[in-house]
Amino acid sequence: MNKIVIAIDGYSGCGKSSTAKEVAKRLGFTYIDSGAMYRAAALHFLNENLSPLDSEDVFEGLKSLHISFQFNPVSQLQETYLNGVNVEKEIRSMRVAERVSEVATVKEVRTALVAQQQELGRKKGVVMDGRDIGSVVFPEAELKLFMTADVETRARRRQLELLEKGEKASLEEIKLNLETRDQVDSSRSESPLIKVPDAVEIDTSNLTFSQQVNQIIDLVHKVTLN
């Protein structure tokens, strides 16, 4: 199997991360969760009481921000570290979810994280998911996917995910958070979420997880055979 870059973009909560993780596992590629990096940055700003809207705070925040990933052999997952501390669980909380879109609108934050993402994908053999992977981070990616699902389905999936982690949230609260993030992510001036013309759209509303994964694996085989 040729080592290629697979860029997966799409709305919040349509199964990008779990799909990307499984695709990477099946191909023996590295999975990189770019959203986790924005979440870690948001957590850092929250912890340090810094405003992403204040340019001095942004400068301070970025100076002291170090994000890394480490493979956990027990969970078999890449886990996110913020300044050397494992924050994998904390970055998935509603507290962070409510602030992350704002941090992700800041140009300087994006420039720093995009540079790190490009470095992580330099050797190829990666699956990266996010909002601007096919458009900004890897415009030359061999395979670009744009995943969608209706908001009801996404909210129900996210609620289950949170419950599994012991966090309760109402469907309405989750729906509102997803819709707000969709709106901010798609309308921001810095690298808005868009479907680039060469991306293949996958609507997961009526697909099972394995159907979703198999569709992508089929596309990978087509791309690598050409």
> Which residues make up the interface to ligand DC (CB under 6 A)?
12, 34-35, 38-39, 100-101, 104, 130-133, 181, 185
From the CB of 11, what's the least distance to ligand DC, in Å? 9
Alpha helices in the chain (DSSP H): 16-27, 34-47, 55-63, 94-104, 107-120, 151-164, 171-187, 209-225
Bridge partners (DSSP) listed for residue 187: none
Exposure class string for 91-102: b at 16+ Cβ within 10 A, else e = bbbeebbebbbb
Q: How far apart are alpha carbons 125 and 30 in whole angstroms?
A: 6
Inter-residue contact 7 to 143 (CB < 8 Å): yes
Q: How far apart are alpha carbons 8 and 25 in whole angstroms?
A: 15
From the CB of 104, what's the least distance to ligand DC, in Å? 3
From the CB of 224, what's the least distance to ligand DC, in Å? 24
From the CB of 158, what's the least distance to ligand DC, in Å? 9
Which residue has tokens 């389905």? 153
Give whichever of 118 and 170 is closer to ligand DC, judged by the CB atom. 118
Give whichever of 93 and 224 is closer to ligand DC, judged by the CB atom. 93
From the CB of 188, what's the least distance to ligand DC, in Å? 8
Give whichever of 50 and 91 is closer to ligand DC, judged by the CB atom. 91
Give whichever of 2 and 186 is closer to ligand DC, judged by the CB atom. 186
| 3-class SS of residue 33 | strand
Give whichever of 12 and 220 is closer to ligand DC, judged by the CB atom. 12
CA dist 3 → 86, 123, 132 (Å): 29, 8, 21
